[in-house]
Amino acid sequence: MDKLGRLLIVDDDPMVLEAIEETFIDEYEIVLASSGEEAISLLTDKQNVEAIILDIRMARVDGLVTASRLKEINPNIPIIFHTGYPGEYSEKTIEKDYRPFDYVGKNERPARLKRAVRNAVEFYQLKTSSSDLINLAKVNYKMVGSSEKMQEVYQKIEKIGSTDSKVMILGQTGTGKELVARAIHKRSSRSDKPLAILNCHHKESGLIESELFGHLRGSFTGAYEDQIGMFNYAHQGTLFLDEIGDLDITTQAKILRVLESGEINKIGSPEITKVDVRFICATNLNLEKNVADSSFREDLYYRLRGVVIYTPALKDRREDIPELLDFFIERCCANGGSSLKVFEPKARDLLIQFDWPGNVRQLMDTVQSLIYLSPSYYITHKEVVDYLECTPYSKNSGGSLSEKIKEFKKTTILQVLDRQNHNISAAARELKVDPSNLRKLIKELNIN
Q: What is the CATH number of the domain that holds 173?
A: 3.40.50.300
Maximum CA extent, the chain: 80
Domain shared by 354 and 289, yes or no: no
What is the mean predicted confidence (pLDDT) over 162-187?
A: 93
Closest-CA residue to 321 (of 356, 372, 368, 345): 356
Domain shared by 124 and 40, yes or no: yes
Long-range contacts of residues 204-208, Cβ cutoff 8 Å, at least 24 apart = 205/248, 205/250, 205/251, 208/247, 208/248, 208/251
Is it the case that residue 393 has pLDDT exceeding 50? no
Amino acid identity of 208?
A: I
Domain shared by 188 and 254, yes or no: yes
For position 92, what pLDDT does the model report? 44
Domain shared by 291 and 341, yes or no: no
Length of the chain measured in residues: 448
Domain shared by 172 and 291, yes or no: yes
What is the mean predicted confidence (pLDDT) over 140-147?
A: 91
Helices of type H across 7-130: 14-24, 36-44, 63-73, 91-98, 110-128
Q: Give a yes or no: residue 139 inside a domain.
A: no
Q: How does the average pLDDT of the chain come out, rounded?
A: 86
Residue 103's beta-bridge partner residues? 81
Alpha carbon distance 381, 379 (integer Å) = 7
**Helix (H, G, I), strand (E, B), or coil: what is residue 249?**
helix
What is the mean predicted confidence (pLDDT) over 311-331?
A: 94
Q: Give a yes or no: residue 140 inside a domain.
A: no
Q: How many CB atoms lie within 10 A of CB 212?
A: 25
**Helix (H, G, I), strand (E, B), or coil: what is residue 103?**
strand
Amino acid identity of 89?
A: Y
Angle at 198 between CA 196 and CA 204, to 5 degrees: 145
Closest-CA residue to 241 (of 214, 280, 278): 280
Among the candidates 291, 310, 329, a domain finishes at 310
Domain shared by 76 and 190, yes or no: no
Is it the case that residue 189 has pLDDT exceeding 60? yes
Is it the case that residue 15 has pLDDT exceeding 80? yes
Total tally of structural domains belonging to the chain: 3
Angle at 215 between CA 209 and CA 218, to 5 degrees: 125
According to DSSP, the β-strands at 273-274 and 263-264 are antiparallel
For position 10, what pLDDT does the model report? 94
pLDDT by residue (tens digit) across 208-257? 888 898 877 766 666 677 788 899 999 999 999 999 999 999 899 999 99
For position 137, what pLDDT does the model report? 87
pLDDT band at 149 (very low <50, low <70, confident <90, very high): very high
Among the candidates 93, 128, 163, a domain finishes at 128
What is the mean predicted confidence (pLDDT) over 426-438?
A: 84
CB 282 within 8 A of CB 181: yes
Say which CATH number the domain at 356 has: 1.10.8.60
Is it the case that residue 48 has pLDDT exceeding 90? no
Higher pLDDT pick, 354 / 396 = 354
Q: How many CB atoms lie within 10 A of CB 253?
A: 13
What is the mean predicted confidence (pLDDT) over 173-190?
A: 93
pLDDT by residue (tens digit) across 64-115? 889 888 888 888 889 999 887 655 554 444 444 456 788 888 888 889 899 8
pLDDT by residue (tens digit) across 263-318? 988 877 778 889 999 999 999 999 999 999 999 999 999 999 999 999 999 999 99
Is it the case that residue 170 has pLDDT exceeding 60? yes
Domain shared by 261 and 345, yes or no: no
Q: Is the pTM of this model over 0.85?
A: no
Domain shared by 228 and 304, yes or no: yes
Domain shared by 366 and 425, yes or no: yes
Domain shared by 298 and 194, yes or no: yes
Is it the case that residue 146 has pLDDT exceeding 50? yes
Residue 343's beta-bridge partner residues? 379
For position 222, what pLDDT does the model report? 66
Domain shared by 351 and 216, yes or no: no
Residue 352's domain spans which residues?
A: 315-444
Alpha carbon distance 122, 51 (integer Å) = 9
